[in-house]
Amino acid sequence: MIIWIDADACPRIIKEIVFKASQRLQLSVRLVANTGLSKHHSPLISSVVVSEGFDAADDHIVQHATTQDLVITADIPLAARIVANGGIALDPRGELYTEENVGERLSMRDLMQELRATGAIQGGPAQLGLTDRQRFASALDRTLTRMVKDSRVVSG
């Protein structure tokens, strides 16, 4: 099992929470971005720098993530692709993307983009707050615990 992070826009605090979980559970983490990333001191954490093409990081994650992996992303189209492939994706605010909610989230995203383009609304999502970080940490813990348990059942 690998934890993939869509690292271009992932907040540092979210990465740190993932790194701690990685160490605790001894799980590999792959950060994928279009730009260089800072070095990490854990052998469990690696970085992949992809070309600067549109959706290159997303494409890399979709091509390499398996159904046993977890993808951390705020990118709803990427999450939709992961879920469509049978994978698991988690939002940095702690919401697990599912077949039931990802279509609705994608529609809402498209509507908000349209409203911003017409000037009807301005700005993006609110800054990540303490409650969001706590919700993410709890959701990450629940998701990884279930995934580790499920992988032991399958392999054992």
* β-bridge pairing 96-97 and 88-90: antiparallel
Task: Give yes or no for a contact between 46 and 52, defined as CB atoms under 8 angstroms apart.
Answer: no
What is the per-residue pLDDT across 19-47, written as a single tens digit (0 to 9) for each?
A: 999 999 999 999 999 887 777 788 999 99
Percent of the chain with pLDDT over 90: 63
Task: Give yes or no for a contact between 17 and 1, defined as CB atoms under 8 angstroms apart.
Answer: no
Cα end-to-end distance, the chain, whole Å: 15
* β-bridge pairing 96-97 and 2-6: unpaired
Q: Identity (one letter) of the amino acid at 155?
A: S
pLDDT at 149 over 80: yes
Q: How far is CA 33 from the centre of its chain?
A: 12
Domain ranges of the chain: 2-155
The stretch 132-137 carries a mean pLDDT of 96
The stretch 67-81 carries a mean pLDDT of 94
pLDDT at 118 over 70: yes
What is the per-residue pLDDT across 75-115, written as a single tens digit (0 to 9) for each?
A: 999 999 999 999 999 999 999 999 888 777 776 666 666 76
Q: Identity (one letter) of the amino acid at 73?
A: T
Q: Which fold has domain 2-155?
A: Rossmann fold (3.40.50)
Instruction: Tell me the DSSP string of 99-124.
Output: TTTHHHHHHHHHHHHHHHHHTSS---
Residue 35: its pLDDT value, please? 83
Residue 124: its pLDDT value, please? 64
Residue 48: its pLDDT value, please? 92
Task: Give yes or no for a contact between 66 and 40, defined as CB atoms under 8 angstroms apart.
Answer: no
Name, in order, each residue with C-beta under 8 angstroms of 76's C-beta and a sequence gap of 6 or more: 97, 102, 105, 106, 109
Question: For the sheet containing 28-33, what is the strand order?
Answer: 45-49, 28-33, 2-6, 70-72, 88-90, 96-97
DSSP 8-state symbol, 37: -
Residue 147 confidence class, pLDDT cut points 50, 70, 90: very high
